Chains A and B, each alone.
Chain A
Amino acid sequence: MSLVKLACPACGCLCDDIDVELEGNRIKRIENACAKGASIFYSGENPDRRNSCQIDGQEVPLEKAIEEAAYLLKRSSRRLIFGLDSSTLEAQAIGIELAQTLGSVLDDSSSFCQGALIEKILDGTIPSCSLPEVKDNADLLIYWGSNPSHAHPRHLSKFSYYSYTEYNELGWLPKVKLGCVEVRETEVSSLSNPFFKLKPGEDKDFIEAILTAARRSGSNPGEEADEAKAFTELVKSSHFCVIFVGLGLTYALDGDFRLFAEMVQEFNPSTRIAVIPMVGHYNMRGFNQSLYQRIGYVNKVSFAGAISYGDEYSFLEQVRNHLADCVLIVGSNPFSNLPYSIMKELQGVPVICLDPFATTTTKAAHVVIGTAISGLECDGRALRMDGEEIKLTQARVSNYPSDEEVLGRLLDRLSR
């Protein structure tokens, strides 16, 4: 029997306090994991859920699957590499190199998730902070368009409201206020005071009203909605406000954070504001940051000739416009999560998919390579939603190759 402490690859929280008890090579008990984390670890032991290596649904040895994938990529002229958000930094580095070597288009889920916000944080337009800085220091926490109870279940207890030193389950006098901006009642809205409830799509109008209220002098009350005034007063009366931005806000703003950045600037410097993106995939932040440091862009790039960036290189645009003649998907499930009307356009295009689990995407793929679960079956590093590096540790022996190994072997073959 052995006890190991692991980091969890279920979401961008990358909780690094997961205790796993192993009996031989099997998991006997898991402590501290949320339902999402536990489902990944336990499903890893279910052979029905794992992918073997396959070509057109027929099981093949790993070497044969890699050979077929390399062949498909080599004979193509317009390759598209997508995903890597659920791969380690090491695998991402090789994935980026592979895209460069092949002159491929490269994109990840952040192009329709938090990429635009992360870019503004990386270029300094929007201030951020680390999650450990939040605890005991921030006196106002606002979840905006985010419901951590379902997307990031341990966020409140590990990093924000319930993580404060003075919190005691028997009761406490919090020195921090919890607020939320949301279009429906959620677990977080029920804890929040105040809860700013908007109609779907009203976020932009709300920010505009906040900006107007914030710019007006205190002695000259305006006609903005009471809610916007209340929000403004709430933020102005705090010293350190952290806004956790979820996809609800990102989609309401259609990925354009300029107005939101203006609002944040308006409150600074009287109130320190930090914005943290609620990142879904465990290493989306890592992908964005790695690519940004390498070429100055967070996603949607083409390495065909000179490096190019733009919406035309987003996964969705590439598929919609039939621009790719071979697609390599690493650790992502777009056939389940993206609009079917777009995904059906991939019919007839060879898809290669690397994933630990059987998904709708692996079902649609021509070549499937079953890979190791990061942080349980292979080592590596990843960046948490706040950009902090977290180490992932292999806990058990696995026959599955890591993304890093598969991508490395593909790179090796295709560089010759």
Chain B
Amino acid sequence: MNSSNERQEISLIIVTHRDIFQWVNQIKGLKEQYQERSAVAWLSPDDMKTLNIEDGDKIKIRNALGTIVVQAKLYSSCPRGFAFMPVGHYSSRLVEYDPGKARLPGFKRIEVSAEATEEEITPIPELQ
């Protein structure tokens, strides 16, 4: 995280996707490698700047359904206001299913707020 103490919270829409390495590590067991591939959110340069963070810093993501701490990664062509995360234990904490809004769960549209944090990445056992 940058040295500035400014704390900024932003709104994001998370879109989940598949990640083969995360999938493979889920089959192998929910160990460190699985966490490394799952506890990650890819953000736009603008949003990284607003959050005052650098590639690899941690962010706390939350909505009414849950809170997780993951690593933020820079995705240069990510549109501002969006973030990408692998489907799995982390993103599932935040996914809404409300048939009044949509027939399918909101895996491709998770509304959250995000802020920089010094807290540890949410450990997998907390998500099981």
The answer, yes or no, to whether A291 is at the interface (CB within 8 Å) is no
The reply on A307 being an interface residue by CB < 8 A is no
Closest B-chain residue to A151, C-beta based? B18
Q: Does B66 have its Cβ within 8 Å of any Cβ on chain A?
A: yes
A-B interface pairs (CB < 8 A), number? 113
Nearest-neighbor residue (CB-CB) of A364 within chain B: B128
Interface size on B, as a range, is 35 or more
Residue from A39, A149, A251 in contact with B107 in the complex, judged by beta carbons closer than 8 Å:
A251
Q: How many residues of A contact B (CB 8 A)?
A: 45
Do most interface residues of chain A lie in helix, strand or loop, or is the interface mixed? helix
A200–B96 touching, CB < 8 Å: no
Whole-angstrom distance from the CB of B84 to the nearest CB of chain A? 6
Q: Is B45 an interface residue (CB 8 A)?
A: no
Who on chain A is nearest to B65 by CB?
Answer: A341
A252 within 8 A of B: yes
Whole-angstrom distance between the Cβ of A38 and the nearest chain B Cβ: 8
Q: Say yes or no: B92 contacts A43, CB within 8 Å.
A: no
Q: Are B108 and A49 neighbours in the complex by a CB distance under 8 Å?
A: no
Please tell me if B13 contacts chain A, counting CB pairs below 8 Å: yes
User: Which residues of A, 174-227, contact B by the 8 Å Cβ criterion?
Assistant: 183-185, 199-201
Asked whether B79 is an interface residue with its Cβ less than 8 Å from the other chain, the reply is yes
Known A200-B82, A251-B108, A255-B104; judge A147-B18 contact (CB<8 A): yes
Q: A360 to B107, alpha carbons, bound, how many Å?
A: 19
A340-354 vs B: 1/0 string, CB under 8 Å? Answer: 111000000000000
Q: How far does the alpha carbon of A151 sit from the alpha carbon of B16 in the complex, in Å?
A: 13
Given the known inter-chain contacts A201-B109, A311-B99, A339-B65, please indicate yes or no for A251 contacting B23, CB distance below 8 A: no
Residues in B whose Cβ lies below 8 Å from that of A34: 20
Closest chain B residue to A252 by CB distance? B108
Q: Is the interface of B mostly helix, strand, loop or mixed?
A: loop
Report yes or no: A320 in contact with B97, Cβ–Cβ below 8 A: yes
Interchain CB contact under 8 A, A43 and B104 = no
In Å, the complex CA distance between A252 and B108 comes to 7
Contact check, A341 vs B97: say whether CB atoms are below 8 A apart: yes
Question: Of residues 100 to 123 in A, which have CB atoms within 8 Å of B's CB atoms?
Answer: 112
Q: Are A200 and B15 in contact (CB under 8 A)?
A: yes
A39 & B24 in contact (Cβ 8 Å cutoff): yes
Q: B residues 1-28 with Cβ under 8 Å of A?
A: 13, 15, 17-21, 23-24, 26-28
Chain B residues in the interface with A (C-beta under 8 A): 13, 15, 17-21, 23-24, 26-30, 65-66, 75, 77-79, 82, 84, 87-89, 92-93, 95-97, 99, 102-109, 127-128
Which residues of A pack against B, CB within 8 Å? 34-36, 39-40, 43, 46, 48-49, 112, 147, 149-151, 153, 183-185, 199-201, 247-248, 250-252, 254-256, 311, 316-317, 320, 335-342, 357-358, 360, 363
Q: List 17 A-B contacts (CB under 8 A).
A: A40-B27, A149-B20, A150-B17, A199-B82, A200-B15, A248-B108, A252-B108, A320-B97, A320-B99, A336-B88, A337-B92, A338-B95, A339-B92, A340-B66, A340-B92, A341-B66, A360-B128
What are the nearest 10 A-B pairs in CB distance? A339-B95, A251-B108, A150-B20, A39-B24, A39-B27, A150-B18, A151-B18, A339-B97, A341-B65, A200-B15
Q: A184-B75, A247-B107, A341-B65 are in contact. List 12 more A-B contacts (CB 8 A).
A: A36-B27, A43-B27, A43-B28, A147-B17, A183-B15, A251-B104, A255-B103, A338-B95, A338-B105, A339-B96, A340-B95, A341-B96
